[in-house]
């Protein structure tokens, strides 16, 4: 049985003080959570302080990206050792906003995934199609390229440590959520792509989150789908109440 993983991607929201306050609220609310893995991804600037807040709690730390190089002249970037030192367990890789605005490609996703796994951390690998791609009937080919690209030269053992987040770009931050069926259909095909690479057992073990306008109202329906093992949540993760409602929807299943 796959366990649910509910992760809040705070993106470029919340100052350090606001991040600490929100993390404290989430720690408090999730004290009774036992089955669901809860992860929060603040900005780099707030990550170390948030790590202190969540120490010993049911909440785990993620960061929103890393560079694939160990160190050096890469202005504005953060290495995997830096985020490991402060206690991050997960790293979000290949978010559509990185792909869209910051030149992320399937090749750089693969380099980052390797770097994260090499450091003993776990990548949350984001994939998903744009509306134009979906309308043009390219859903399957886009997801295939993204999955094959991300997992190039990754061993089966390492693949098992990864999480995939299926985030249709047209659903992110738009309030237009994929229907339960749309999300399930896409995520089922993602799982069969993983099965082609690593076999059925690995594909059944890897968790696939849904992301894109997930909220307290639609979470239960999405999480009830066979191939939806959690959520990667933006807007609705910025308030403890709504984020916790989604965690509860997973915990109750
Ligand atoms: P929203 O939940 O704000 O649509 O964002 C989803 C997302 O991009 C999470 O990574």
- Digit-coded pLDDT (tens) for 159-204: 999 999 999 999 999 999 999 999 999 999 999 999 999 999 999 9
pLDDT tens by residue, 71-119: 999 999 999 999 999 999 999 999 999 999 999 999 999 999 999 999 9
Which is the catalytic residue, given 37, 129, 167, 251?
167
**DSSP, res 133:** H
Residue 209 Cα to ligand 1 middle (Å): 11
* Average pLDDT, integer, range 122-129: 98
Q: Are 108 and 93 in contact (CB under 8 A)?
A: no
Which letter does DSSP use for residue 100 in this model? H
Q: Find the 169 Cα to ligand 1 centroid distance in Å.
A: 9
Q: How many CB atoms lie within 10 A of CB 230?
A: 30
Dist CA 140 CA 143 (whole Å)? 5
234 CB near ligand 1 (under 6 Å) = yes
Burial pattern 204-226, b for ≥16 Cβ within 10 A else e, equals eebbbbbbbbbbbebbbebbebe
Nearest-CA residue for ligand 1 atom 5 is 234
Catalytic residue among 37, 67, 95, 251: 95
Please, are residues 40 and 232 in contact by the beta-carbon 8 Å criterion?
A: no
- Distance from Cα 14 to the centre of ligand 1, integer Å: 15
- Tell me if 9 CB under 6 Å of ligand 1: yes
Q: Which residue(s) pair with 93 in the sheet? A: 125
To the query of whether residue 185 is one of the catalytic residues in this protein, the response is: no
Cα(215) to centroid(ligand 1), Å: 10
Q: What is the pLDDT of residue 229?
A: 98
The finding on whether 129 has its CB within 6 A of some atom of ligand 1 is no
Is the shortest distance between the CB of 128 and ligand 1 below 6 Å? no
Helix (H) and strand (E) counts for the chain? 12, 8
pTM tops 0.85: yes
Strands in 4-158 per DSSP E = 5-9, 37-41, 59-63, 90-93, 122-127
* Cα angle: 231, vertex 198, 124; to 5 degrees: 25
User: Residue 218: CA atoms inside 13 Å, Cβ hemisphere, count?
Assistant: 20
């Amino acid at each position: 049985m796959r366990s649910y993983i509910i992760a809040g991607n705070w993106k470029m929201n919340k100052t350090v003080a606001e991040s600490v306050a929100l993390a404290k609220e989430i720690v408090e609310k999730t004290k009774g959570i036992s089955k669901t893995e809860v992860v929060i991804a603040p900005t780099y600037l707030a990550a170390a302080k948030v790590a202190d807040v969540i120490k010993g709690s049911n909440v785990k730390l993620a960061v929103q990206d890393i560079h694939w190089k160990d160190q050096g002249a890469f202005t504005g970037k953060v290495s995997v050792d830096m985020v490991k030192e402060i206690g991050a367990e997960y790293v979000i890789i290949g978010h559509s906003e990185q792909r869209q605005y910051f030149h992320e490609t399937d090749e750089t996703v693969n380099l980052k995934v390797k770097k994260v796994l090499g450091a003993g951390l776990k990548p949350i690998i984001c994939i998903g199609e744009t509306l134009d791609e979906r309308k043009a009937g390219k859903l399957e080919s886009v997801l295939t390229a993204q999955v094959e690209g991300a997992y190039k030269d990754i061993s089966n053992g390492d693949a098992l440590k990864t999480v995939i987040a299926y985030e249709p770009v047209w659903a992110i931050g738009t309030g237009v959520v994929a229907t339960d069926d749309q999300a399930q259909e896409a995520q089922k095909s993602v799982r069969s792509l993983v099965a082609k690479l690593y076999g059925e057992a690995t594909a059944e073990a890897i968790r696939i989150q849904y992301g894109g306008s997930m909220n307290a109202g639609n979470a239960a329906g999405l999480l009830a789908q066979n191939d939806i093992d959690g959520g990667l949540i933006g807007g609705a993760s910025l308030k403890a109440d709504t984020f916790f409602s989604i965690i509860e929807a997973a915990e109750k299943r």
